[in-house]
Structure 1
């Protein structure tokens, strides 16, 4: 048995970069797929069928894990959202995983083994104001995860999702620079009282990628959110316990 191969989209920064580094340290050959160059990676747009076909040709029959991490955010009131904004977010966050999972899933199905891990969000489990397109894509990605888990599980391919809460990445810096929220808006809400770090998400991805550790886990949407989606408390009650 040769070296395991993992494809990680959006691997040039943030969560994707940490996932790629962790899987590489665990013995995977990692093929990054990003608009920017990555070590040993392929440059391309996840929403472009031609770029995805080129990636599939590059990995051939050698793919064990696909991590659909690439994504973009858009913070705008729904009534002000343009068709172009809506379409771009859906194309990257939902059509991209469709294209990648179909192309590389066929390879896994032919071999009778593999793991797909979709990076969804707590925004796929709840509603977050002013992020209608983003929320829609993450809800849709969880739906795709569950559907493919049912379709492919009996053929040896597991499909799961990780649902991060707020993570300290370049995307967070950009959102805060726009004045949309402050650190305390997040830390006051999270029972663990902190942002996630990219490694928190990467560890969950590593677990779900490994058939030895998670071989009977299929179709889950795993929150990695410090308890964000579990907490129904009001703010003063939550903070009074700290």
Structure 2
């Protein structure tokens, strides 16, 4: 459970996630700082301190201050911490998402009054009208599709040139994950899929997504890219893939699993 508005002493020891506008501060060694609070040499006291959890039995804290500046500034997105290990990445993603939640729920969306942190759960409460808000989580489906020793990869307008991935899309209201997977594939590339099976999930700070992964078989249809979403898509040999997401991501794990299933 996340605890809010903690008072940290100068000698308090922990792993410190300093968040500023969705980015995380790293020390001169390019790491999330671990040590006593006073060693951070922050130029201003943080607006809020939250206990996020633990990493190797060390308390992990979120420090929020949008005016935070340090002598050895080095700010990164949580995605850049994928190679730092699963625990650090998950805490970094959590820190950014919690910071965004607290920033965007300072006032009640129902009556406009100031919101207050609930002291026993991660929620914001309006004491005037009783409106309570929880962090938003946006489920998203990832679908790896293969056919005849080939995998379907696509490149959206958000991807850099030469980088491809499996298909992805957000789940809509009153829709199951499976329905979303079938719909997104049809909308984005015009083909039908079958034999859908679940692979796993991964929290993703985009900025508050929960990625859910599936593998599916091709069932029919020709590739027709959806305008404004997919710039190009095609079938790629599992032996000769273009640049794809790293294995630390759920997309990369799905691609690797398809390669193992087909012996490629």
Confirm or deny a common fold (TM above 0.5): no
Answer 1 or 2: higher relative contact order, Cα 8 Å, separation at least 6.
1
The structure with more radius of gyration: 2
Tell me which protein shows more helix as a share of its residues: 1
Q: Which has the higher strand share?
A: 2
Alignment TM-score, normalising by the size of structure 1: 0.25
